[in-house]
Structure 1
């Protein structure tokens, strides 16, 4: 026991020394910083935004909507310190939204009503007992909120207010991040690192002239350690945590880089991290024609405006990256929805004068990225709202925020999401009922949560068992041939206790229909293999091997081509536990096959939009014959 304690003590000491060594790497040297405002937008740079809003009605509408939201905020009470479970995060996020909006409004109009309301919000959060360092994301976002407000409203704040706010930034934001019990995120490779480093850097920039040594330490630390999560984008930009967490981690990573670049005139090589700039193409392709996201892992379904995409488009000089974003700013009803986004003003900061009405269409209808959670994203058109869209993924359950969904896919046609994913369940709804949610072990209660295991994803279940947490499925072949876009994954690592071979291919054939083919081989025991697809449609079985799916007056035919003798069936999606979220309007459709020991088997399923019913004229070929 003493040896164990000694080992732990040495380990903690080495980690602390490692952190100190990182903080001592001096990237910024004796660089001087400009006067306030200095975060993201220097004094006088408002004029460029005014030119943009004056030249483009859509940007003008966004600007007006932000001012309108600020007018609404003026009559509201400031955020209160009300913690929900272990989190203060919703309050931190609301504070950031309010202060970013109000500070933007004052800088653009110099109307003192926005200054006074912003000052009121700043003093309220500065008076909180703390910003909840036990869940440090809360501190990070609150520090960013206070820092933007302090920096952007600085010239209008009283000396007394300045003192209270900068003291709070230091004592409730930065100083807790220097305590080893609060800063484990420095070693994380996920969104926590990106968000927390960004928040702390904003605090350091805001109070730089008062605490230059601490500020330099925090900024240098961020430059060093944010490279850990940025390493997750390599080689191609596929973000392991999926759509919603791209919107979180990557957005704050961009907030960090943009602030450094504005302050020091350089990003210290951060944008040269492999895969980081190409992640913009990943994000653009993650939304289907319906506007819904490929919502694997802990992700929401609804597509959202991503202000960071405007930074990427400007950085890469590629306005086509904004094709998906355009809809959120050119549709008045969509623009109003975006007012929930706490980073929304950044879209105007990074707009670069782009004309939203004349964006070029993306050149490729196929995108694939390797990495921890590889994906392939394909569609038949960018401009046709009725186009076919397919997203397919590999990966494995051990990745941050992952589900047991390796091999899963989503599919759209005729404006309908036929094959869907439940996505995430609200964390507090599970944590409040003592679910062991963040334990990723094979026997963890996490995998009993209905939405998280493979039983309700569009993948395979073998012998009614969970996928193997330690397994990982790479994408093994791809083709962007317009007549046969495809991606193939090797899933055997997820089922290696029962199968010796498990390859899945998903393809769009002749721009008309979708094929899902599985090629399996059992070990020296027979196996029961279940094929399932989750759908929000009405399902009618019209024969042993065929089903008709209908929704919104549209129809899709699901046809099992192999094996020849199979019985399609449906399963309910009623939640089995009191902690599971309800799943109204959804159905599982699929089939089971018995595969003898040491036997090869093939499963081929066609997903055929009604208008393409006569386009299927041939058997599905073996995967090795698919174009590469």
Structure 2
């Protein structure tokens, strides 16, 4: 099954999806003349007013938006404040303020919201620049002012329009033009920077297109070509190699861009047809566990956050399950949750949505006992590529939820402003190095930063699901072969099994980071959080015992307060098999037999 899927991927790669981009001179030919034309038109305003009156959930979201708008009336305006190399926090503040205040004004008609939104935009327009050296800042600020300019266009006076439009052009679009003319790096990359920069700048160009037609045509033409590089990364199944946090960032800007193209031009030029994009919401549904925390591999936090693009994807691709899932997870709601609101869908447990899933390009696997059960067992497990953007040296790592608690935790990212976080000190930081992951460590050494670890087996059956990752390249300097298997047995017990050959190192550590209290009992360990408990039992080798190690990191790193490591320390020998069973509440009466991973692969 897995082999056939891989073969299909390879065959489809010979016929890459192509977008027929119009000539630059024709690309804005269908531009909608009136404002607002970006993402939410005048017709949408009338529709949303009716929706708020008819749908209690939409009304609840609107009340949250309005409460935020009321709060922003007296909030401090955006400031030119650089932290490290970034103005990004201020760009995002401006974006949040403008979307919220402009939404409230369009739906309430209260000029206080209009005046406060204009004040925000004029303040940002007065900045000396929008920090183009870190272009995400520029793209997000361009997006913010473009939405305010477009949505509030008819209520801005001539001077306000001119000031805001000039800022969009000079501080946003002209800076992007320099990048496109020289084909600088973000216009050629395949990760989130591409989608964010192209998305924000496209929205800016569409906002001012009638006044700057030549520049707008050039920007949109370049952006539509450039963004294809990143959108190819959705194939074949919608996953994101940069982790759940950057899935959210990249897909949100991808959707902003496509939504704006559709409302302003009546077409996205076929960009939404890229393989994998229509099902990318599957990835979000799977990476959130029953604790509502994500499998936060790479530079990601464990909070799922909001993802209004799930509503847009639901409507665009007729995926009502995406809408249901987002309504369950958003808590309050954002302006775009309102503009894109979709009330369809049913609980996951009634939908037939698979409990287990392997994502091929990202080499990430998710196993769970059930949907719609906050006590369910959930495992996120990964292979992947240590070279991808925002990666950690964490091939083979996993997280584990059960009984409403997260037992095996991924520590996530650290402070981006630490020295050389994205440079030559990256692999010295605990949270990014192999020592900070739930995987194998040999002699305290990092995995190879260039290693790739493919998922070589995946199976899902009623009473058992499992996957196997080939970690050999990750430890190539220390052994000849390394396989890690992860199995969910009887939809309750989790088996982590490692098989190693040709080991040249001296000591091997098996690691699992946890916030639980740990009691050691030789080859067993009892983990406790509140009234809940998880048992760990070493099945092989017979002589192995558990130990506890610190997960503390020195300043300026996060100290990892409240986290410790459950470890197994073994003198290296070859071949070696290490099998650990993790059981919520209690161990099974009969321990499972340990089978070679070759049998797992054959199943």
Normalised to the residue count of structure 1, the TM-score between the two structures is 0.89
1:499 to 464, 479, 482: 479
- Aligned position for 1:145: 144
Distance apart, 1:352 and its partner CA: 3.5
Contact 1:572 1:587 in 2 (8 A): yes
DSSP-derived class of the 2:102 partner: helix
Contact 2:196 2:250 in 1 (8 A): yes
Distance apart, 1:616 and its partner CA: 4.1
- Aligned position for 1:393: 382
Q: What is the alpha-carbon distance in structure 2 between the residues aligned to residue 385 and residue 358 of structure 1?
A: 13
Q: What is the alpha-carbon distance in structure 1 between the residues aligned to residue 404 and residue 103 of structure 2?
A: 37
- Aligned position for 2:254: 253
- Aligned position for 2:516: 537
- Aligned position for 1:19: none
- Aligned position for 1:617: 591
- Aligned position for 2:549: 571
1:588 to 555, 561, 565: 565
Q: What is the alpha-carbon distance in structure 1 between the residues aligned to residue 272 and residue 597 of structure 2?
A: 38
Deviates most, 526-535 or 119-128: 526-535
DSSP-derived class of the 1:200 partner: helix
Contact 1:533 1:588 in 2 (8 A): yes
Q: What is the alpha-carbon distance in structure 2 between the residues aligned to residue 86 and residue 527 of structure 1?
A: 42
1:345 to 331, 335, 350: 335
Q: What is the alpha-carbon distance in structure 2 between the residues aligned to residue 243 and residue 497 of structure 1?
A: 30
Deviates most, 88-97 or 22-31: 22-31
User: Mind listing any 5+ residue stretches in structure 1 that lack a counterpart?
Assistant: 1-21, 339-343
Contact 1:287 1:294 in 2 (8 A): yes
Contact 1:571 1:589 in 2 (8 A): yes
Q: What is the alpha-carbon distance in structure 2 between the residues aligned to residue 38 and residue 615 of structure 1?
A: 64
Q: What is the alpha-carbon distance in structure 2 between the residues aligned to residue 488 and residue 96 of structure 1?
A: 43
- Aligned position for 1:300: 301
Q: What is the alpha-carbon distance in structure 2 between the residues aligned to residue 26 and residue 497 of structure 1?
A: 55
Q: What is the alpha-carbon distance in structure 1 between the residues aligned to residue 409 and residue 25 of structure 2?
A: 48
Contact 1:460 1:529 in 2 (8 A): yes
Distance apart, 1:369 and its partner CA: 0.7
Distance apart, 1:166 and its partner CA: 0.3
Distance apart, 1:529 and its partner CA: 1.8
1:473 to 435, 438, 453: 453
User: Mind listing any 5+ residue stretches in structure 2 that lack a counterpart?
Assistant: 1-20
Q: What is the alpha-carbon distance in structure 2 between the residues aligned to residue 266 and residue 388 of structure 1?
A: 43
Name the CA shift for 1:526/1:132 in 2 (closer, same or farther; >3 Å). closer
Q: Deviations over 1:266-311 (max 9, x none)?
A: 2112112122222110111111001111111100111212111111
Q: Deviations over 1:167-200 (max 9, x none)?
A: 0000011001112479421011111110010111
1:417 to 406, 413, 429: 406
Q: Deviations over 1:517-565 (max 9, x none)?
A: 1111015x3542211011110011012x110000021111111101111
- Aligned position for 2:581: 606
Q: What is the alpha-carbon distance in structure 2 between the residues aligned to residue 485 and residue 368 of structure 1?
A: 11
Contact 1:27 1:268 in 2 (8 A): no
Contact 1:323 1:362 in 2 (8 A): no
Name the CA shift for 1:387/1:172 in 2 (closer, same or farther; >3 Å). same
DSSP-derived class of the 1:90 partner: helix
Backbone CA RMSD of aligned residues: 1.9
Say whether 1:437 aligns with 2:421: yes
Distance apart, 1:24 and its partner CA: 6.3
Distance apart, 1:578 and its partner CA: 2.0
Q: Deviations over 1:85-136 (max 9, x none)?
A: 2111100000000001111111112221111111111111111111111111
Distance apart, 1:354 and its partner CA: 3.4
Q: What is the alpha-carbon distance in structure 2 between the residues aligned to residue 374 and residue 139 of structure 1?
A: 33
**Aligned residue pairs, count:** 580
Name the CA shift for 1:256/1:582 in 2 (closer, same or farther; >3 Å). same
Say whether 1:459 aligns with 2:439: yes
Name the CA shift for 1:175/1:359 in 2 (closer, same or farther; >3 Å). farther
Name the CA shift for 1:556/1:357 in 2 (closer, same or farther; >3 Å). closer
User: Where does 1:235-250 land on structure 2 (aligned, <5 Å)?
Assistant: 235-250=236-251
1:551 to 529, 546, 553: 529
- Aligned position for 2:12: none
- Aligned position for 1:201: 202
Distance apart, 1:617 and its partner CA: 3.5
Distance apart, 1:77 and its partner CA: 3.2
Q: What is the alpha-carbon distance in structure 2 between the residues aligned to residue 514 and residue 25 of structure 1?
A: 56
DSSP-derived class of the 1:508 partner: strand
Distance apart, 1:515 and its partner CA: 0.4
- Aligned position for 2:9: none
Contact 1:396 1:405 in 2 (8 A): no
DSSP-derived class of the 2:299 partner: coil
